Amino acid sequence: MTSFPTRILGDLAVPLAGLILLALYPSQQAFLAQIAITAILVLSLDLVVGFAGLATLGHAAMFGAGAYAAGLYALHVWSEPLTGLIAGALAGAVVAGATALMLMRAHGLTFLMMTVAISQVLYEIVSKARDVTGGDDGLFGFTMQPVLGVWEFDFFGKLAFWYSLAVLWIVFVLLRRLMVTPFGQTVRAIRDDAGRVGSLGGRVYRHRVVVYTLSGGIAGLAGALSAQTVQVVGLSSLSVTYSAEILVMLVLGGTGRLWGALVGTLVFTVIHHYAASIDPVRWMLFIGLILVVIVLFLPGGLTRGIALIHAWLTGRRAP
Amino acid sequence: MTALLEVRNLTKSFGGLKVTNHVDLTLEPGARMALIGPNGAGKTTLVNLITGALAASGGSVRLMGEDVSALPEPVRAARGLIRTFQVTRLFGSMTVAENLRIGAIHRQRRSYAILRRTAVEQALDEAVARVLAQLRLTDRADTPVARLAYGEQRLVELGIALVMEPRVLLLDEPAAGVPQSESHIIMDAIDDLPEDLGVVFIEHDMDLVFRFATEIVVLVSGAVICTGTPSEIAANEEVRRVYFGEAAH
Ligand SMILES: Nc1ncnc2c1ncn2[C@@H]1O[C@H](COP(=O)(O)OP(=O)(O)OP(=O)(O)O)[C@@H](O)[C@H]1O
Ligand SMILES: [Mg+2]
């Protein structure tokens, strides 16, 4: 059990990091909002990959579903943002829940291939339904009402930054809590040895469906935030390429420790930002090299590295 | 009184190989049944069939009078049919206390609890602390199981089962791999179990078998060749020939 001050500090880390980044890059708020939204998505991915131990290449399907749902909701129903977030989260959860009923019967490579297949089916559907989704052109033309009727969305992304940071904070704090509940511990136990949990009376399939649905809901929430702050939804939000990219972020930061999702997203996006402006063609090569080094020499990702350094400095053994 | 566990005509084939051959067993409350037999006799397979980890080819399993043959493994476990594994299966990323806690969570039906409620946490902590103390693992509570010696890992393996408060406990070589100096902790813990519980334990060490068993079942090539009290088994010609003859070389 971590001590009380450590826990509070952990809870405050997200707003602190947000403020520091804001001080460092005061004119880049739209970019910082993008990082926060991606971090929510990668956190939701960590729930599936890191905590449930299920490697997926289809996670963007839920993000995209949430983004399109929030866009359509704003366009046709109501352009109020908070209910839009709920619409996005529900869409993500429905896509995840419905597909989980099939997915969680599969294992290993079959599971991975099914996540790709489901993603591509959804991509095709959205791409063909031009009348509704805008197809290749994307979904646009919606504007958002002020958040809570007070804060207007602006061209510079000022509101987008605070809005996304607030949602990221809430998601992070809630997930940290969830991990130490009996449910969270059961999910981890299933990752370690599903058969053993079954021998204790645990229903592995049901827990996996629940955790996948929950994760889909959070991914959908991130999608909705993206739709509302950028006010365009593109097909790429649903793509397997994007799923792979967020998986790279997670592995970079370290799976199964929530922090990893935050660190990985930040490092990846910042490298992307700079490297792509220096060399827009070969920046992916650079990311690839870093990833190879991490996978070979630091399988727990950057946060594992930080934990090792911390343990070394304090003279304790790393957890 | 109905038997805790009644196995009738249980049969299992892997391809052409009959690994479990029309096995009958009856376990009464309070029984400490040793299941013995040479390597490959089908002891572990029998445990897997009883718990539902493997589907039987034929026969039935009754738990406290109820036919559970068609029920999946988790449902049988939830009704108090609990086993341990011959090769330790712990939750490798967790500490000793966390491992036991997974058992407690299932015993207390909290595996869907998404809130940390004080009363629930206390009940879980108490259950874990009780078993930790019983197995003399209290000062190991926060040690990751991956760092334990194998003998201590065997204790945790048993602890996970104990925290489940089983009605029927199936132990697959609980003391295997445990140094002699520590095997008594395991056998003492088994001895301390509530009276009315039924225990089946697979064991190769004949000292432990004759010390703790109230009943011995001898399994050879998937079939029960003999059942009886320790003294009956010790005197049985066939057992001496088939089992002890083989084990002695
Ligand atoms: N999944 C399986 N597929 C095919 N054959 C199997 C399988 N599991 C076990 N067997 C075979 O069934 C027989 C019984 O195995 P089992 O593990 O039940 O024996 P055991 O009595 O527990 O032996 P030991 O004392 O070595 O633990 C062996 O011949 C084994 O090779
Ligand atoms: Mg065996």
* Per-residue tokens: A116: 């790709």
CA B22/CA B33 separation, integer angstroms? 19
> E-assigned strands of B37-157?
58-63, 66-67, 81-83
Q: Is the pLDDT of residue A194 over 90?
A: yes
> In the prediction, which pLDDT does A109 show?
94
> In the prediction, which pLDDT does A317 show?
64
Q: Whose CA is nearest to atom 29 of ligand 1?
A: B40
Helix H segments across chain A?
4-24, 29-46, 60-72, 81-103, 108-128, 130-133, 158-179, 182-192, 194-199, 204-230, 240-253, 259-278, 283-297, 301-314
Q: Do the domain assignments include residue A201? A: yes
> In the prediction, which pLDDT does B26 show?
96
pLDDT in tens, A244-256: 999 999 999 999 9
> In the prediction, which pLDDT does B249 show?
42
Q: Is A3 on the interface with B (CB under 8 A)?
A: no
> In the prediction, which pLDDT does B42 show?
95
> In the prediction, which pLDDT does B248 show?
44
Q: Do the domain assignments include residue A288? A: no
Q: Is the pLDDT of residue A318 over 70?
A: no
Residue carrying the six token digits 């993008």: A34
> In the prediction, which pLDDT does A232 show?
92
Closest CA to B216 of B195, B244, B176, B188: B244
Closest CA to A243 of A68, A87, A94, A119: A119
Q: Do the domain assignments include residue A175? A: yes
pLDDT in tens, A21-73: 999 989 899 999 999 999 999 999 999 999 999 999 999 999 999 999 999 99
Residues of B in contact with A210 (CB under 8 A): 112
Question: Probe ligand 1: pick from B17, B19, B242, max atoms within 8 Å of CB?
Answer: B19
pLDDT band at A139 (very low <50, low <70, confident <90, very high): confident
Q: Which atom of ligand 1 is nearest to the CA of B43?
A: 21
Q: How many Cα atoms occupy the beta-carbon half-sphere of B95 within 13 Å?
A: 13
ipTM comes to 0.93
Q: What angle, 0 to 180 degrees and rounded to 10, lies between the N-to-C axes of helices A158-179 and A4-24? A: 160
- Ligand 1 close to Cβ of residue B19 (< 6 A): yes
Question: At residue B176, what are phi and psi to the nearest 5 degrees?
Answer: -65, 130
Angle at B38 between CA B34 and CA B39, to 5 degrees: 110
Q: pTM, whole model, 2 decimals?
A: 0.93
Question: CA of A55 to nearest chain B CA: how many angstroms apart?
Answer: 18
Give me the residue from B102, B107, B160 closest to A186, CB to CB: B102
Q: Do the domain assignments include residue A275? A: no
- Count structural domains, chain A: 1
Query: Which H helix or E strand runs over B126?
Result: helix B118-134
Q: Do the domain assignments include residue A284? A: no
Q: Do the domain assignments include residue A197? A: yes
Q: How many Cα atoms occupy the beta-carbon half-sphere of A66 within 13 Å?
A: 34
Which of A56-65, A143-152, A258-267 is predicted with the least confidence, judged by mean pLDDT?
A143-152
* Per-residue tokens: A92: 């993500």
pLDDT band at A8 (very low <50, low <70, confident <90, very high): confident
CA A52/CA A215 separation, integer angstroms? 10
Residue A228's domain comprises 14-239
**What is the mean pLDDT of the segment spanning A70-85?**
93
Give the B window 189-248 contacts with A, CB below 8 Å: none
pLDDT in tens, A221-248: 999 999 999 999 999 999 999 999 999 9
What type of residue is B213?
A
Ramachandran class of B85: left when φ > 0, alpha when ψ lies in -120 to 50, beta otherwise: beta
Q: Do the domain assignments include residue A42? A: yes
Q: Whose CA is nearest to atom 9 of ligand 1?
A: B45
The domains of chain B, with CATH numbers, are 5-93+166-242 (3.40.50.300)
Q: Do the domain assignments include residue A292? A: no
Angle at A222 between CA A124 and CA A19, to 5 degrees: 145
Q: How many Cα atoms occupy the beta-carbon half-sphere of B153 within 13 Å?
A: 18
Angle at A281 between CA A275 and CA A287, to 5 degrees: 50
Q: What is the mean pLDDT for each group of 10 consecutive residues in chain B (249 residues)?
A: 92 92 95 94 97 96 96 97 97 97 97 93 97 94 95 94 96 89 83 90 90 93 93 84 58
pLDDT band at A136 (very low <50, low <70, confident <90, very high): confident
Question: Chain A residue closest to B146 (CA)?
Answer: A319
> In the prediction, which pLDDT does B240 show?
78
pLDDT band at A112 (very low <50, low <70, confident <90, very high): very high
